[in-house]
A and B are shown apart, each in its own frame.
Chain A
Amino acid sequence: MTEGSDRPVVSRRVALAGTALGSLAVLTACTDGSPSSPTPAASGLPGTGVPTDDDGVRAARVATELALVRDYDRAIAAQAPGRTPSDREQLRAFRAHHLAHAIALDPNVDPSLTATAAPTGSPAPRPAPTRAALRTLEAQAAASAVDLCVASSSPELSQLLSQIGSSEAAHAALLAISATRST
């Protein structure tokens, strides 16, 4: 109703509207050019050591994100029939977020994930994680994203890792909410 008023506050209205940062555009294709084989750094477990170069940071994080995608795959497949559709949609949305994280870090990641079978010599498939287990994994991922963010040299990579960690912290919080509601 007051739009178009000449009050000076009108020019500030955008400040309450949220900002579209468009930071995806900062992503660059600075991968090692080997799309089908994870780098050695990628085999490290998250949190067991922070890589010191940006390529290592990216590779380590891609491995973490793809492991989370597989965790969600198992959780979705094993979901009890009694779960509500919204629970299933939530898990699918979070899986999609982790795949988007991996692709943002490495454009060579296969969006269909068919080329990312577990590497040879990996342990036998783990059982499907519960929602509580997923919450723990998300919280760990959020924490390690901060470590990697701090270790990054490039501002673009540190910003991306901060956003990824923020997404995962929110996942953990939402899984806690849904766990409270449905169990």
Chain B
Amino acid sequence: MTTPTSREDALTRTLADEYAAIYGYGLIASALVGPPRRRAQGAIDTHRVRRDQLRGLIGSLGRVPPNPAPAYDPPYPIDLPRRAAALAAAIESGLSGSYSQLAAQSVGPDRRAAALAAQEAAVRAAAWSLSTQAFPGTTTAIAGTSPPAG
């Protein structure tokens, strides 16, 4: 995947990741029970707030923010708590990387906000996987994930 070269591009990509996160956490929550399920449900709210912020930022550039896809396919069946947690970690790690790319395409307070959002996503990823990476978002946390088909 190429690196975004404009703030609009970075905002749009991050919004797409937030849409996927909201959808994905619905699958994740349904595969979990108890406190992990509540954590996943709480994450949906968190990502909805981020989604709305990103839509507003794209709108402030005079652009119409894209809408989410009707549905998103997970990379594997989310039928076990372990798989649900792995997908949550991968979603958050990818989002952390997207926010770091957004930071690179932003300046001043916008950059600070993006860098802090990257940290929050990395912390959520760590809470799901109990591990982290030297460069969150650089590599996917899921083995066997296919690259974009086009």
B and A form one assembly: yes
18 A-B contact pairs sorted by A residue (CB < 8 Å): A15-B17, A18-B93, A18-B142, A20-B138, A20-B145, A22-B1, A96-B134, A149-B112, A155-B104, A155-B105, A158-B103, A160-B135, A162-B99, A162-B100, A162-B115, A163-B118, A165-B119, A167-B136
CB distance from B127 to the nearest CB of A (A): 6
* CB proximity to B under 8 Å, residues A82-112: 93, 96-97, 100-101, 104
CB distance from A148 to the nearest CB of B (A): 10
Q: B125 contacts A170, CB within 8 Å?
A: yes
Could you say which residues of chain A place their CB within 8 Å of the CB of B70? 8-9
State whether A23 and B69 are in contact (beta carbons under 8 Å apart), knowing that A156-B104, A163-B100, A167-B135 are contacts in the complex. Answer: no
Query: How many B residues touch A, CB cutoff 8 Å?
Result: 63
Could you say which residues of chain A place their CB within 8 Å of the CB of B58? none
Report Cα–Cα, A97/B1, bound state, in Å. 24
Tell me, yes or no, whether B114 is within 8 Å of chain A by CB: yes
State whether A18 and B94 are in contact (beta carbons under 8 Å apart), knowing that A163-B137, A166-B136 are contacts in the complex. Answer: yes
Q: A21: nearest residue on chain B (CB-CB)?
A: B97
Q: B133 contacts A145, CB within 8 Å?
A: no
Tell me, yes or no, whether A174 is within 8 Å of chain B by CB: yes
List chain A positions with a Cβ less than 8 A from chain B: 2-3, 7-24, 26, 93, 96-97, 100-101, 104, 142, 145-146, 149-150, 155-156, 158-167, 169-174, 177
Could you say which residues of chain A place their CB within 8 Å of the CB of B136? 163, 166-167, 170
Could you say which residues of chain A place their CB within 8 Å of the CB of B139? 20-21
Q: A172: nearest residue on chain B (CB-CB)?
A: B123
Could you say which residues of chain A place their CB within 8 Å of the CB of B3? 21, 23, 26
Q: A166 contacts B75, CB within 8 Å?
A: no
* CB proximity to A under 8 Å, residues B97-140: 97-101, 103-105, 108, 111-112, 114-116, 118-123, 125-127, 130-140
Report Cα–Cα, A110/B34, bound state, in Å. 47
Partner of B138, one of A12, A23, A96: A23
Q: B122 contacts A150, CB within 8 Å?
A: no
Q: B122 contacts A159, CB within 8 Å?
A: no
Q: A21 contacts B24, CB within 8 Å?
A: no
Tell me, yes or no, whether B74 is within 8 Å of chain A by CB: yes
Q: B123 contacts A173, CB within 8 Å?
A: yes
CB distance from A164 to the nearest CB of B (A): 7
Q: B74 contacts A16, CB within 8 Å?
A: yes
Could you say which residues of chain A place their CB within 8 Å of the CB of B134? 96-97, 100-101, 104, 167
Partner of A150, one of B75, B100, B112, B145: B112
* CB proximity to A under 8 Å, residues B27-76: 69-75
Report Cα–Cα, A10/B135, bound state, in Å. 29
CB distance from A16 to the nearest CB of B (A): 5
Q: A22: nearest residue on chain B (CB-CB)?
A: B138
Could you say which residues of chain B place their CB within 8 Å of the CB of A10? 73, 149
Report Cα–Cα, A26/B101, bound state, in Å. 12
Could you say which residues of chain A place their CB within 8 Å of the CB of B122? 166-167, 169-170
